[in-house]
């Protein structure tokens, strides 16, 4: 092989190696840096609060003694006979805030300032359940001329539920329920990253103390 051909081949090989090196260097220097994006999934405020549904925050255990009497006329109204019952009633009364009806109009979120404001329904009594183990008829008196009223105990139990509800309201169960709901929701929203939480409640409804009885 002529000498000049060998020189040309060597020259082309050197130029090819240099060109490949420059290409690799350009690729390394021109490539954009790798970016890692971390997404922190934060549940929406409305969904997080709605998931609590009926937020029961307080429960009272109350006892009352209820006396119920029924007067009966006998002998064409000339005589009066009496059928009476004395019931010792104990019940558990629960109250809280129903969050199922909460909508977007009641939630204001200011992400820039880490602030959230809620307008919640008024607290209400949820349930009144008689404790059957501690509720009993203390005495039942039926005069000789009186006819026993088989429904008298049921009437006494209904009267007891009404009195127990009123006793719970008088003892401040709704105020306790509101305070408990505010504490729970404030903790939840602060855990979601909000530093400033404002919670307001509607005025109590007229039937706020009319619960479902068990």
Give the per-residue pLDDT at 24.
Answer: 43
Which residues are registered as beta bridge partners of 129? 92
The domains of the chain are located at: 45-213
Question: How would you label 7-36 residue by residue, b for 16+ Cβ within 10 Å and e otherwise?
Answer: eeeeeeeeeeeeeeeeeeeeeeeeeeeeee
Give the per-residue pLDDT at 179.
Answer: 96
CA distances from 104 to 34, 44, 47, 120 (A): 39, 11, 10, 11
> Which tens digit of pLDDT belongs to each residue from 15-66?
444 444 444 445 445 555 555 444 333 346 667 776 777 889 999 999 999 9
Give the per-residue pLDDT at 144.
Answer: 86
Give the per-residue pLDDT at 34.
Answer: 59
pTM above 0.85, yes or no: no
Question: In 3D, which of 213, 207, 190, 205 has the Cα closest to residue 45?
Answer: 190
Sites in the chain below the pLDDT cut of 70: 1-46, 50, 206-214
Q: CB–CB of 91/129 below 8 Å? A: yes
């Amino acid at each position: 092989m002529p000498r000049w051909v060998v020189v040309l081949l060597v020259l082309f090989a050197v130029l090819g190696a240099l060109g490949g090196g420059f290409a690799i260097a350009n690729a390394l220097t021109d490539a954009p840096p790798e970016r890692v994006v971390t997404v922190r999934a934060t549940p929406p405020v409305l969904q997080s609060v709605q998931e609590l549904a009926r937020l029961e925050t307080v429960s009272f255990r109350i006892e009352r003694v209820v006396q119920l009497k029924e007067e009966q006329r006998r002998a064409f109204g000339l005589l009066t006979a009496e059928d009476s019952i004395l019931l010792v009633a104990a019940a558990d009364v629960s109250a809280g805030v129903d969050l199922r009806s909460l909508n977007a109009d009641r939630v204001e979120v200011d992400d820039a300032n880490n602030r959230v404001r809620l307008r919640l329904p008024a607290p209400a009594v949820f349930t009144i359940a008689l404790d059957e183990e501690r509720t009993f008829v203390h005495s039942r008196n039926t005069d000789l001329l009186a006819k026993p009223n088989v429904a008298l105990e049921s009437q006494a139990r209904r009267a007891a539920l009404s009195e127990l509800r009123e006793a719970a309201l008088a003892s401040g169960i709704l105020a306790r329920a509101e305070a408990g709901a505010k504490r729970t929701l404030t903790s939840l929203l602060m855990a979601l990253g909000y530093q400033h939480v404002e919670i307001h409640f509607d005025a109590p409804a007229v039937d706020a103390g009319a619960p479902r009885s068990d």
